[in-house]
Structure 1
Amino acid sequence: MINQINNYLSLMRLNKPIGIYLLLWPMLWAFFIATNGQPNMFIMFLFIVGVILTRSAGCVINDFFDKEIDSKVERTKERVVANGKVIPSEALILFLGLIALCILLLLMIGLDILIYAIISFCLIVVYPLAKRVIKIPQLVLGIAFGSSIPMVYIAEIGEVTPSCILLYLATISWAIAYDTYYAIADKNDDLKIGNKSSAILFGAKDISYPFKLHVLTLALLFIVGLINELELFFYISLLIALMLSVYQKILAAKRIPYQCISAFENNNYFGLIIFFGLLLSYIYE
């Protein structure tokens, strides 16, 4: 029984929370910018729980659809659906249970964000299939990962503003950047089995494009800072984040899989630094 619970937790990737962090930072940026540094703590708590649930649901449905592919890829062949420790019907039931909890959270937050929640749900389901069809499935991932931003704005201030749109675009750019590093680690296997990814699309420029996308992300955030008249701390955080982007590019330069994964994971600090810059900006304004 305990082993099976551990298998379910592994299926939800709760033992690897990096995906939660990467979803969390843009959402927290949105909360603080939308409310001028004074978010509704209860609503923010509900959104944090929602991030954990939706990311878990995304991992479950990804492994459900990718069970045959995962079994052929060295890095993923021991995932619990691919190796048979969790059967597909169990994974599907778990996914539906997680979505039911997300719906409960939605009812607690308010139906004003319903349309965005439906779009987010559809993207979660579509993303695993996008890898078979779309040349840059990371774009779908970015749109999904950023979908909490308009929800935050509507839940907190009742409207989508120019800052909201810029934050969303920055999050999409950032997601394509860091997930390209992740995709480089699987590039050879993806080419063999016919999967598509930004790493394959970018070809020999698969290292330089993520850096350029990081720069685009920071440029968009810089504009958000100007619009919202943020303090110097925020711009310092963007500069530090730029240095992290340079480090990630160097880390992934030789395309060694574990170093590319490290470059991907380093983006947690990228998001964290920017959040601290925001926090200090509002504390000392």
Structure 2
Amino acid sequence: MDTAPSAAPTCTQRLHNYLDLIRWSRPAGWLLLLWPTLSALWLAADGFPGWHLVVVFTLGTILMRSAGCCINDVADRDFDRHVKRTVNRPVTSGRVSVKEALLVGLALTLAAFALVLTTNALTIYCSVFAVLVTLLYPFTKRFFSMPQAVLGVAFSFGIPMAYAAVNAAIAPTAWILLLGNLFWVIAYDTEYAMVDRDDDLKIGMKTSAITLGRFDVIGVTSCYVLFLLCWAWGLWSLSLGWPWYAALVLAGLQVVWHWRLIRHRQRAECFRAFTQNHWLGFTLFAGIVLAFLLQNAGL
């Protein structure tokens, strides 16, 4: 059951609670969604896709990640009170009621959907599927041994949506990139789950960190490698040139750094690895953008 604060919060306190609910002070979460989505936009358009789509997908990514936080916190409110890292989340601590969190999540989802309505029918259909997977994900932690794979689908579906928005069709390359991105999500969310593994074992939560057990570090590292291999394979035929290959090398070096961070399974280092993943996504995005800039300039 929810616990109510002793006094009604002021408007400022309520706003602060809502911003805390959507993790406004922690942008790493929506950056993890943004970079592969923007990469897909550039790839689908063979360069800059236009400001309309950039704005739609950037704002849509932020809104949907925020809505996902609301849904997740409502679904996990009884579990979060037993986990050190999440015990003070707004819904669990009673600072935001379940009804408020659901209303905020609904408002954010409708705002994101309004943005998608400015694209085309295929993108709209894809967005409906993405929302359904987002709603499903928090509950898979009760019965599915690898819920991070479900999160991977939700976090990766911006890729086919980007192709659909640009071309009103989804190229085979999009599905290869989605598969690779799914491996990336499993990698970084397993690092996240490694932070809470002891608490999750006590409360019966299922996570990839628990499922992989002593093979967690090699599992995470393997998923990173599969991610980069899928993207290298998917973009091989585009001949993007040295900026893309340089980005792959830099991304590979970051994978080595992540392995060094998590190899001793220390909570702080695993959490640090998770929070720094957006730099890996940005590296690949920057390589793609630079490659198209040089190609389109005839260099």
Provide the secondary structure at the position in 2 that maps to 1:85: coil
Is the 1:180–1:210 Cα contact (8 Å) retained in structure 2? yes
Q: How does 1:77-96 map to 2 (within 5 A)?
A: 77-96=87-106
Name which of 129, 149, 152 aligns with 1:139: 149
Amino acid across the alignment from 1:100: L
Provide the secondary structure at the position in 2 that maps to 1:133: coil
* Correspondence for 2:236: 226
* Correspondence for 2:214: 204
Query: What is the CA–CA distance in structure 2 between the aligned matches of 1:38 and 1:128, rounded to whole Å?
Result: 35
Amino acid across the alignment from 1:72: H
Query: What is the CA–CA distance in structure 1 between the aligned matches of 2:234 and 2:243, rounded to whole Å?
Result: 14
Residue 258 in structure 1 maps to residue 273 in structure 2: no
Cα drift, residue 279 of structure 1: 1.4
Cα drift, residue 213 of structure 1: 0.8
Is the 1:225–1:234 Cα contact (8 Å) retained in structure 2? no
Name which of 165, 179, 200 aligns with 1:155: 165
Is the 1:184–1:199 Cα contact (8 Å) retained in structure 2? yes
Q: What TM-score results when the alignment is normalised by the length of structure 1?
A: 0.98
Is the 1:174–1:214 Cα contact (8 Å) retained in structure 2? yes
* Correspondence for 1:54: 64
Query: What is the CA–CA distance in structure 1 between the aligned matches of 2:159 and 2:177, rounded to whole Å?
Result: 7
Query: What is the CA–CA distance in structure 2 between the aligned matches of 1:156 and 1:249, rounded to whole Å?
Result: 36
* Correspondence for 2:5: none
Query: What is the CA–CA distance in structure 1 between the aligned matches of 2:105 and 2:49, rounded to whole Å?
Result: 30
* 1:166-218 residue CA offsets vs partner (Å, 9 max, x unmatched): 11111101000111100000111111000001111111010111111111111
Name which of 23, 31, 34 aligns with 2:41: 31
In the alignment, structure 2 segments of 5+ residues that lack a partner are 1-10
Name which of 111, 127, 131 aligns with 2:121: 111
* 1:237-269 residue CA offsets vs partner (Å, 9 max, x unmatched): 111111101111110111111110111112111
Which shows bigger deviation, 1-10 or 103-112?
103-112
Query: What is the CA–CA distance in structure 2 between the aligned matches of 1:163 and 1:229, rounded to whole Å?
Result: 14
Residue 189 in structure 1 maps to residue 234 in structure 2: no
Amino acid across the alignment from 2:258: Q
Name which of 180, 187, 196 aligns with 2:190: 180
Query: What is the CA–CA distance in structure 2 between the aligned matches of 1:89 and 1:120, rounded to whole Å?
Result: 23
Query: What is the CA–CA distance in structure 1 between the aligned matches of 2:38 and 2:114, rounded to whole Å?
Result: 21
Query: What is the CA–CA distance in structure 1 between the aligned matches of 2:106 and 2:168, rounded to whole Å?
Result: 29
Name which of 70, 75, 78 aligns with 1:68: 78
Q: How many residues align?
A: 285
Query: What is the CA–CA distance in structure 2 between the aligned matches of 1:242 and 1:180, rounded to whole Å?
Result: 18
Query: What is the CA–CA distance in structure 2 between the aligned matches of 1:239 and 1:213, rounded to whole Å?
Result: 16
Is the 1:31–1:153 Cα contact (8 Å) retained in structure 2? yes
Which shows bigger deviation, 69-78 or 91-100?
91-100
Q: What TM-score results when the alignment is normalised by the length of structure 2?
A: 0.93
- Over the aligned positions, Cα root-mean-square deviation in angstroms equals 1.0
Is the 2:122–2:169 Cα contact (8 Å) retained in structure 1? no
Is the 1:71–1:78 Cα contact (8 Å) retained in structure 2? yes
Query: What is the CA–CA distance in structure 2 between the aligned matches of 1:211 and 1:195, rounded to whole Å?
Result: 23
Is the 1:33–1:228 Cα contact (8 Å) retained in structure 2? no
Query: What is the CA–CA distance in structure 2 between the aligned matches of 1:87 and 1:196, rounded to whole Å?
Result: 26
In the alignment, structure 1 segments of 5+ residues that lack a partner are none
Cα drift, residue 111 of structure 1: 2.6
How high is the sequence identity, in percent, across the aligned residues? 36
Query: What is the CA–CA distance in structure 1 between the aligned matches of 2:293 and 2:102, rounded to whole Å?
Result: 45
